[in-house]
């Protein structure tokens, strides 16, 4: 399988509860390497631009407000099949449906406040990494 890079966000509900280290440990245990990392506080407009593909969905306003409510930790994770592997470690969007051992099963509060974001395809990984990081910030 190819070495890939994917964009991860540790969301406000998790940074607020001081869960950053525990979540990063799950990525590392799964064989993913953190090759870029920063803690930032998004504005609602920045959150809106990042989630532009969800603009027409009913939860968009709430999602943007939530993502701008507290700092987030944005990271690039690298590894074999990193995009799918990260989605596996994250678990289903709704923690009630997430498998045992996944981040969302263990830490998420609700379908909205679900602790982590992860790119869902090669195209979105490329767009989302470029949204937050310059090439100089990616250190493999
Ligand atoms: N979301 C929400 N309500 C929903 C579905 C999604 O608040 O009914 C939020 C949730 O934070 C989710 C994000 O919107 O992580 C993006 O939704 P998507 O369906 O892309 O889920 P993901 O890829 O994050 O599992």
Closest Cα to atom 19 of ligand 1: 93
The pTM score is 0.98
In order, the DSSP letters of 57-83 are STTHHHHHHHHTSS-EEEEEEEEETHH
Site to substitute for ligand 1 among 50, 59, 92, 119, most atoms within 8 A of C-beta: 59
Q: What is the ipTM score, two decimals?
A: 0.98
CB atoms near residue 4 (< 10 Å): 19
- The answer to whether 117 is a known catalytic residue is yes
Instruction: Catalytic residue, from 117, 129, 132, 133: name it.
Output: 117
87 lines ligand 1 (CB under 6 A): no
For ligand 1, say whether the CB of 117 is within 6 Å of any of its atoms: yes
Any alpha helices (H) in 17-112, and if so which ranges?
A: 20-29, 44-50, 60-67, 82-90, 103-107
Is ligand 1 within 6 A of the CB of residue 93? yes
Task: Supply φ then ψ for residue 5, to 5 degrees.
Answer: -120, 145
For ligand 1, say whether the CB of 114 is within 6 Å of any of its atoms.
yes
> What pLDDT tens digit does each residue of the chain (140 aa) get?
899 999 999 999 999 999 999 999 999 999 999 999 999 999 999 999 999 999 999 999 999 999 999 999 999 999 999 999 999 999 999 999 999 999 999 999 999 999 999 999 999 999 999 999 999 999 99
Q: Token pair for residue 16?
A: 């607020």
CA nearest to 107, candidates 8, 26, 6, 7: 26
Ligand 1, atom 10, lies closest to the CA of 112
Nearest to 120 by CA among 75, 78, 85: 85
């Amino acid at each position: 399988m190819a070495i890939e890079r994917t964009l991860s966000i540790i969301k406000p509900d998790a940074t607020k509860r001081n869960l950053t280290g525990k979540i990063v440990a799950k990525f590392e245990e799964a064989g993913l390497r953190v090759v870029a990392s920063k803690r930032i506080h998004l504005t609602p407009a920045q959150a809106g631009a990042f989630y532009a593909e969800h603009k027409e969905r009913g939860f968009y306003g709430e999602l943007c407000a939530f993502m701008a409510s507290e700092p987030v930790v944005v990271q690039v994770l690298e590894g074999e099949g990193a995009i799918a592997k990260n989605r596996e470690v994250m678990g289903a969007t709704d923690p009630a449906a997430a498998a045992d051992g996944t981040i969302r099963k263990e830490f998420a509060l609700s379908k909205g406040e679900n602790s982590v974001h992860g790119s869902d395809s090669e195209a979105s990984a490329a767009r989302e990494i470029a949204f937050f990081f310059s090439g100089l910030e990616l250190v493999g």
